[in-house]
Amino acid sequence: METKALFSKMIKNWPGLIFIMALACLMAWLMNDDINRMQAATTNYEYYQNFIYLIENIAITYFFCIVMLMIFFTYSNKQYSKWCVRLFYVLGISVLAYYVMAGQFNSYVFNMIESEYLEKYPKMAHSLYTGPLYWMFVGYFFVPKILKDARKMKEEQDLTV
């Protein structure tokens, strides 16, 4: 797709563009706030709690972007694209990689926080493991429909050729 065609589609869908830009600004503001709170932390507990919030915001943004890219590749051109299927595999691998890294980071944080904050540790672990869970579920509930529509488009494209 040419850049000019992409910009013309974005201009035609200005409410969607404003919504995406507002979400991007919100997530950038949240991440910046997490980084500032990490720098201002006085204990290891505060530092790692804000670090977990930062990881959570980055993961939410990442999984949201993957789902939005799958929707874009399927529905914007109305043509079959292999990238939709590839992004499905990227989504699955990313979920596994996130939880492997979250488990390792969780045990690292347990060893680093002070003993007087150990009663707050389960809340930190819960936040780390369930932060991006919403977008993972949304992705996996809508992905079968997206893949089904992509398959229909491929069949239609094969019939016309």
pLDDT value, residue 80:
66
Structural tokens at position 149? 């529509």
Question: Which of the residue ranges 7-11, 14-18, 101-105 has the most confident prediction, judged by mean pLDDT?
Answer: 101-105
Model pTM above 0.85: no
Q: Which of 2-11, 52-61, 82-91 has the lowest mean pLDDT?
A: 2-11
131 or 16: which leads in pLDDT: 131
Listing DSSP states for 67-112 in one string gives HHHHHHHHHTSSS--HHHHHHHHHHHHHHHHHHHHHHHHHHHHHHH
pLDDT value, residue 36:
93
pLDDT value, residue 33:
93
The 10s digit of each residue's pLDDT in 57-81 is 898 888 888 888 877 777 776 666 6
Helix (H) or strand (E) holding 20: helix 14-39
Give dist(CA 116, CA 72) in Å, integer.
48
Give dist(CA 70, CA 39) in Å, integer.
36
**How would residue 22 be classed by pLDDT, with cut points 50, 70 and 90?**
confident
Burial 64-74 (b: 16+ CB within 10 A, else e): bbbbeebbebb
Percentage of the chain exceeding pLDDT 90: 19
For range 89-109, the mean pLDDT: 90
* Mean of the per-residue pLDDT values of the chain: 82
Per-domain residue ranges of the chain: 3-160
